[in-house]
């Protein structure tokens, strides 16, 4: 027996959100929270007369989303939770667009792209938190830029106690000593 009595409908299935990407929070009043009907585009039927109404509603919902302060976090959450966002406008994207974005993320970052994005977000927040206590030096952003661009950094400086002097270095040193001895060096 399945545990249901005759005549009693099945209880709703509860879908848990992926907790690696938290739902964005803000204290501001957002249109998606004060007027959620504007973002439920599927409620507008797809007939010819309603086509313009639907297009206007989509444009208005996208415009409201575009100016939102948590749009990036909302998009991450919507992409990480496809079962919770199968309909409507989420972070100016339609369901088909979110599906395409998920496919691109899987192709770029692998099947566990949510974990990769969550790890990147944690590192970014840790860096922000650390920057509040010890501001970065001038050198830190430059090194970070080099790492992002995958430009090899400068070689380690010459250590005279661990590396032998090359003939070119010996000639250069001899030339400097001759200049100093002749009094031409500043």
Give tens-digit pLDDT for 12-64: 778 888 889 998 888 998 888 888 888 877 766 666 667 788 888 888 888 88
Closest CA to 97 of 113, 115, 116, 82: 82
pLDDT at 97: 93
pLDDT at 139: 83
pLDDT at 1: 46
pLDDT at 152: 55
Q: Are 179 and 185 in contact (CB under 8 A)?
A: yes
Q: Which two tokens stand for residue 134?
A: 């010890």
Highest mean pLDDT among 7-21, 65-79, 143-157: 65-79
CA distance 179 to 186: 9
Q: How far is CA 88 from CA 21, 36, 94, 114, in A?
A: 20, 10, 6, 21
Q: Which two tokens stand for residue 43?
A: 């409620």
- List the chain domain ranges: 31-116
pLDDT in tens, 83-132: 988 888 888 899 999 999 999 999 988 999 999 999 999 998 898 888 77
């Amino acid at each position: 027996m399945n545990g249901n009595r005759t005549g009693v409908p099945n209880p709703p299935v509860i879908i848990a959100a992926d907790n690696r990407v938290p739902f964005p929070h803000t204290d501001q009043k957002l249109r998606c929270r004060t007027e959620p009907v504007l973002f439920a585009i599927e409620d507008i039927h797809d007939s010819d007369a309603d086509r313009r109404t639907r297009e206007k509603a989509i444009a208005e919902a996208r415009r409201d989303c575009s100016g939102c302060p948590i749009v990036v976090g909302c998009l991450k959450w919507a992409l990480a939770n496809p079962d919770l966002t199968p309909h409507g406008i989420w972070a100016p994207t339609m369901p088909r667009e979110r599906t395409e974005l998920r496919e691109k993320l899987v192709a770029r970052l692998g099947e566990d792209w949510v974990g990769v994005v969550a790890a990147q977000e944690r590192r970014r927040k840790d860096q922000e938190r650390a920057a509040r206590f010890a501001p970065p030096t001038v050198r830190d952003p430059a090194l970070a830029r080099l790492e992002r661009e995958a430009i090899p950094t400068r070689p380690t400086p010459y250590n005279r106690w661990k590396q032998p002097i090359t003939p070119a270095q010996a000639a250069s040193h001899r030339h400097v000593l001759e200049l100093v001895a002749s009094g031409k060096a500043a």
